[in-house]
Amino acid sequence: MNKLNQLREMTAVVADTGDINAIRQFTPLDATTNPSLLLKAAQQAEYQPLIDEAIAWAAQQGGSSSEQTALCVDRIATKIGNEILQIVPGRISTEVDARLSFDTNATLERARRIMELYAQMGVGPERVLIKVASTWEGIKAAEILEREGVHCNLTLLFSFAQARACADAGVTLISPFVGRILDWYLHNTDATNFTKEEDPGVQSVRRIYQFYKEHGYETTVMGASFRNTGQIEALAGCDSLTISPNLLAELAADEGDLPRVLEPGANASKTTAAISEGEFRFQHNDDAMAHEKLGEGIRKFVVDQIALEDQLKARSQQGEPA
């Protein structure tokens, strides 16, 4: 049995892509998307009719040019999400505009609109995860959405403070990043290499996983942002892992043994006090890596969001009558 199939027996495997062909090939349980992946997906031939439909639909809704563009992006995200849901048996994660990461009310408004667009396609809330950056404001928005029956995936998670706040908020799932943490340590310390056991990204996810299990938190831990299969193997047994197609292919081609590393344990009990906003902000910002990578991650998603919007604007203008 190859390592991918061994991993499936202990961990929910999620495809970190919007590529329909890759999802068909690896048959994951769930799939995740973000602005960067949507930008790539928008270049694929099979999505071009969908994009044309989204542009026409957004124009029919009226409003300013910027409002129509925002609507168009959400329409495309949910249309692609719906296409993916025809293949995967589980859920699709769809991300709220990263420019709203520090605005709780705006995040709520956009998340509700995304859910309404899915509802119009006949997709129920049990099949969608709203992706929100793990800022304090994003976590507070997710807490409200969860009470409304909207399940959330808190992304761009780098610090233990973020993980604690997400657990307190009762979010459905968190996506602690592994590879980007490793990137920071390779760039900002004298280290040139880490074993998979020493990898700071792996250690971060292991710490969060053990804390959640020891204290009975039901939030799913889904490791994300992998640079190599060694990081994935070092987290075998984690609740869930979202993996890019190239690393899924490497695991599928490897016939070696994959031992389980993480175990849920037993006798869990909640004994921790909720983290306050002040504690959250100090502890997160006291972690230089987490502070820098959260800001960088938001900026990168915004760049790709704007690039997608610019493409849609140009395409819409090409279709307008002279």
Residues known to be catalytic = 131
How far apart, in whole angstroms, are the C-alpha atoms of residue 41 and residue 305?
Answer: 13
Q: Which residues, 6+ apart, have CB-to-CB distance to 76 below 8 Å? A: 38, 42, 50, 51, 54, 308, 312
Neighbours of 125 (CB within 10 A): 16
Q: Are 276 and 270 in contact (CB under 8 A)?
A: no
> CA 141, 143, 149, 151 torsion: positive or negative?
positive
How far apart CA 31 and CA 19 sit, in angstroms, is 10
C-beta of residue 225 within 8 angstroms of C-beta of residue 177: yes
Q: Looking at this protein, which amino acid is placed at residue 237?
A: G
End-to-end CA distance of the chain: 60
Q: d(Cα 121, Cα 111) in Å, to the nearest integer?
A: 16
DSSP state of 45: G
Alpha-helix runs per DSSP H in 170-222: 179-188, 200-214
Per DSSP, helices labelled H in 65-103 are 65-85
CB atoms within 10 A of CB 107: 25
